[in-house]
Amino acid sequence: MARAVADTQFLENEALSLLGRLEMVKPFELNTPMVRAAAISVEAQNGITQLLNTVSREVRQKIERYIAWLKNPKNADAPASEAQARFAFLKLRFNNLLDQLDIFADVLSQRGEHNTGVWLAGLDVLALDALSLKGSFYSAPPLVCFIERGHGAAIRRARTRLPGGDDNPVGVIQVPRERLIGSGIASSIIHEVGHQGAALLNLVDSVRGAISQRVAQGEDVAAWELLDRWISEILSDFWAMAQLGIGATLGLINVVSLPSYFVFRIGTDAPHPFPWIRVKISIALGKALYPHLQWRFLEARWESFYPAGKQRPATRLTIQALERILPHFAKLVINHRPKSLRGKALKDVFPVEERQPARLQKLYRQWKYVPRLMAAASPTLVFAVLGQAKSDGNLSTVEETHLLQSMLTRWAMRRAQQASGKDTRRCHRTALFRQINLTTQQLN
């Protein structure tokens, strides 16, 4: 049955209304106010703008082709149901564009908040620093951070699919507001960065292949299979450990300190290790990378907080089996040589030597008296040093917060100045050094 003229006019008007709404989709540069230091990186901005422009152009072309199809006399006999079906698919694609717009709008709208926007820009710099390895093993995508309510962090990885099937040009890291300032935020952010890095290196499949060989040996099979199930999250925890040292475990403890029922709850299909063993895995990785007595004390503290001996027999047996193989598992991970690293072991491409406890302690003592040395250090190193100092009892939470606020601001401003071609050694350096000096004087 041929479509009625009224049906054609109705659908044409609906399509034209989509065009009208498409005109309202403006580049973020035109409608997102923020100070320059709070802006996302040029690479991220270009990637987002290019994506939205490409999808907008595609949607516009599809709408125009649809209207032309409606008006073509050759299609007059097409039933109204076909015309409506074509419009419905067109509308879905338009909504995909809006979904993508909202993803990045959530990120950019927070950059206009006083202080918060600049701190988030500083966290962007931290995230990209954490993704950098010794050697050119991949092209690192841009990363941006934003705040979300809730307890945990998350990442929408770059080069994965967005709504509608388009490739995401930017890694988007969600961080909880409760951990915005403090060394614990680095543990969360770098864990999420680890998911991006592991994907770029194809680490999950590679390490699973090594675990399957251990399973084939027939010893503690159930425990090795649990580690295999959790390996994606474990590798991300390893990434944080390899960049931060003991600060990674301290941040993790802050995240997973929950009522005992949840700490010992072993899910049947959960991607995360249950919290009690997750901390123990982090400690095992720390012992393997950075041998030191501090891990024994931290382990004893964790066990005193959550005594495993009070759990059901089945839970205790699972814990015992896992603890028995953790030293072997930690060595397997840090010495693993995936094809993507071209013969190098994982421990070789991270700054493991620079993150040894004695080295971090020495740097902290130096920075107390020569603050400009801290100002020149990489973001991951700053967080590692302050995390070690906090673990040693040499840095209070208040002092840590003041230092990190200064450093996050500095990193954000330095990136903004580099983007505009200004000399970062001269612009605003005096004011920032004064902030750092004031805090370090309090420490002394």
23-72 tens-digit pLDDT: 877 666 655 666 788 888 889 988 988 888 888 888 889 888 988 888 88
Report the chain's mean pLDDT, rounded to a whole number: 88
Strand runs labelled E in 84-226? 143-148, 154-156, 171-176
pLDDT for res 345: 97
Q: Give the pair of three-digit tokens for residue 299.
A: 């382990």
Rounded average pLDDT over 262-279: 90
Tokens 């005992």: give the residue.
260
CB burial of residue 223 (10 Å; 0-12, 13-18, 19+): buried
Rounded average pLDDT over 132-139: 91
pLDDT for res 424: 45
Rounded to the nearest 5 degrees, what angle is found at the Cα of 230, between the Cα atoms of 228 and 235?
A: 95
From the list 231, 234, 302, 306, the residue with the least C-alpha distance to 264 is: 306
The answer to whether residue 108 scores a pLDDT higher than 90 is no
Q: What number of other Cβ atoms are within 10 A of residue 65's Cβ?
A: 12
The answer to whether residue 442 scores a pLDDT higher than 80 is no
Rounded average pLDDT over 148-159: 84
Rounded CA-CA distance 226/204 in Å is 14
Beta-carbon contacts of residue 185 (< 8 Å; ≥ 6 apart): 123, 175, 179, 251
Pairing label, strands 171-176, 143-148: parallel
Q: Which residues pair with 155 in a beta bridge?
A: 173
CA atoms within 13 A on the CB side of 32: 24
Instruction: Determine which of 28-37, 45-54, 104-113, 174-183 has the lowest per-residue pLDDT on average.
Output: 28-37
Rounded CA-CA distance 365/358 in Å is 11
Rounded average pLDDT over 102-107: 82
Instruction: Determine which of 111-115, 173-177, 209-213 has the lowest per-residue pLDDT on average.
Output: 111-115
The answer to whether residue 142 scores a pLDDT higher than 50 is yes
Region class of 150: left (phi > 0), else alpha (psi between -120 and 50), else beta = left
173 φ, ψ (degrees, to nearest 5): -105, 120
Rounded to the nearest 5 degrees, what angle is found at the Cα of 260, between the Cα atoms of 259 and 264?
A: 125
Rounded to the nearest 5 degrees, what angle is found at the Cα of 288, between the Cα atoms of 320 and 222?
A: 30
Pairing label, strands 143-148, 154-156: unpaired
* Tens digits of residue pLDDT in 371-425: 889 999 999 999 999 999 999 999 998 888 889 989 999 999 999 888 877 544 4
* Tens digits of residue pLDDT in 322-368: 999 999 999 999 999 999 999 999 999 999 999 999 999 999 999 99
149 φ, ψ (degrees, to nearest 5): -70, 160
From the list 341, 329, 318, 349, the residue with the least C-alpha distance to 213 is: 329
The answer to whether residue 155 scores a pLDDT higher than 70 is yes
CB 367 within 8 A of CB 440: yes
Beta-carbon contacts of residue 19 (< 8 Å; ≥ 6 apart): 60, 63, 64
Rounded to the nearest 5 degrees, what angle is found at the Cα of 251, between the Cα atoms of 246 and 254?
A: 130
- This prediction has a pTM of 0.87
Q: What percent of the chain has pLDDT over 90?
A: 54
3-state secondary structure at position 176: strand
Rounded CA-CA distance 186/232 in Å is 19
171 φ, ψ (degrees, to nearest 5): -75, 125
Q: Which residues pair with 147 in a beta bridge?
A: 175
pLDDT for res 423: 47
pLDDT for res 319: 96
pLDDT for res 434: 52
Q: To 10 degrees, what angle do helices 183-201 and 379-391 make?
A: 130
Q: What percent of the chain has pLDDT over 70?
A: 90
Q: Give the pair of three-digit tokens for residue 351.
A: 């700054």
Rounded CA-CA distance 254/39 in Å is 29
**More reliable by pLDDT, 130 or 114:** 130
pLDDT for res 427: 44
Instruction: Determine which of 102-111, 170-179, 399-408, 414-423 has the lowest per-residue pLDDT on average.
Output: 414-423
Rounded CA-CA distance 65/428 in Å is 54
The answer to whether residue 265 scores a pLDDT higher than 50 is yes
Rounded to the nearest 5 degrees, what angle is found at the Cα of 403, between the Cα atoms of 398 and 404?
A: 100
Rounded average pLDDT over 273-277: 96
The kind and range of the H/E element at 40 are none
Rounded CA-CA distance 422/431 in Å is 17
Rounded average pLDDT over 240-257: 94
Q: Euclidean distance between the first and final Cα of the chain, in Å? A: 87
